[in-house]
Amino acid sequence: MKLSWGFITSSLYCTASAAQQGNVYLFDPVPRTSPQVATTVDAGTARLILAQRLGLSRFHTIEQTRSEENLNQINAFGGRHQKLFGGEDTDRTQAHALVWIEGVEGAEALIKDPKIWSSSLTIANPPSASDNKHLIEDMILQAQSLPQKSDPKGATYHSNQFIDHQLSELRQPELFNDYLTVLHMDLKSKDKMAKPSVEALGDMISALMAAPKENQFAVTLVVMPPSASNVKRAANPYGTYQRATLEARRELSETVMSLASAEPATSPNPDLPSDMEDFPVIAMAEGNDTTAPLGILPRCFKTESACTKATHGCSGHGSCGILHKGKKGERADCYGCMCKPTVVDRGDTGMESHKKTTYWGGPACQKKDVSIPFWLFASSGILFAFLISGGIGLLYSVGSEELPSVIGAGVSGPVRR
């Protein structure tokens, strides 16, 4: 009888353990040619897959992953691999939406149409909600410490607008480093914040997947079950990895000083539009960001607000306005930066007032206009070269002249007698 009860107890425990599993649904705008079959991974492999998808691989190593099967899983579910030299990847949107929902007992209720998702996987023995929150916070900090991703065509900017519009219907998401949008909620938490129903979450996720084809972005949906309080868990269920800080980013970057702004920077602003190979930049406080933007900027923008955001207020050296009026049915209005000179008064010396005027150019008024000093230097150099060469030529022509015949008459030979 004891054996029978022990067998029943172990069976119930195994069934409860099997029910406690996390689900991850993945969507990539450019899926692989062969669809990936759903599989089960451990928490450490799931962390590496998420890091690969979010572009945080530099903070996570595979030294502890010795299994060839785990490496194949990371390559299969880690998202689209970027080309070595960028290529057309820079023309696509870099936006990524990470939706992490805790306390869901049936993940299938959130998925209206499973065929939309590129692939899915299951996390065996999922960590607790506190461990998950700690991992999300570390990944957010890692994303903030990365250099800014370039957005020359504004694809990431428009995708972020769509993501914010869809997710804010239920709860306001957070945008980090201008490419990673994170929505994290726990349906079983004791906070007083309103918690949406599973049906409302499913509708929100379906609306999120209905992005326009030209601005489709990567989506990672993580659905975790309610945490069991009586289960003994490991100290580091996700394994060890490098924790990033923003201090290194502040030390390796410089703030571009602007004479048009008298207020100093108070905190780094992560809301900037570059590829991971670009140099990092520290922005000024939000609303007073006049840092010179990185990357190649377009000459025309569709709206004045898009121009102001992408050019950081024309780097504080001008303002956005209509450069070319559009024609109906052909093209829209062209908004761009109209640069203004910066005049600095150096004080009065005697009867005159010395003022230094700096002219600006470029699509964001971020470059000094040195055309006048260049032409002065070039013309002066050409003039001095012409004078020196003319003087040398004059001396050479004088030295080659024949002596007059009068001098030859005074040195004639003796007269014959």
Residue 395, classified by CB atoms within 10 Å of its CB into exposed (0-12), middle (13-18) or buried (19+), is exposed
Nearest residue to 28 (alpha-carbon basis) of 70, 74, 78, 69? 78
Whole-prediction pTM = 0.56
Residue 235, classified by CB atoms within 10 Å of its CB into exposed (0-12), middle (13-18) or buried (19+), is exposed
Biggest CA-to-CA distance, the chain: 166
Rounded to a whole number of angstroms, the CA Rg of the chain reads 34
Contact 192, 203 (CB under 8 A): no
Cα gap 123→125, rounded to integer Å: 6
Provide the pLDDT for residue 182.
Answer: 95
Q: DSSP secondary-structure letter at 74? A: H
pLDDT averaged over 10-residue windows placed end to end, the chain, 417 residues: 46 48 89 71 91 90 74 82 56 89 85 87 90 92 89 86 89 91 89 81 89 86 80 77 64 40 40 36 46 78 87 87 77 85 73 74 84 85 93 84 61 62
Provide the pLDDT for residue 362.
Answer: 84
- Facing residues of 24 across strands? 121, 222
Q: Which amino acid is at 389?
A: S
User: Residues 192, 198, 200, CA angle at the centre, nearest 5°?
Assistant: 90
Provide the pLDDT for residue 277.
Answer: 35
Distances (CA, A) of 140 to 48, 135, 166, 201: 15, 9, 21, 23
Provide the pLDDT for residue 332.
Answer: 77
Strands 218-223 and 180-186: unpaired
Provide the pLDDT for residue 65.
Answer: 61
Provide the pLDDT for residue 348.
Answer: 63
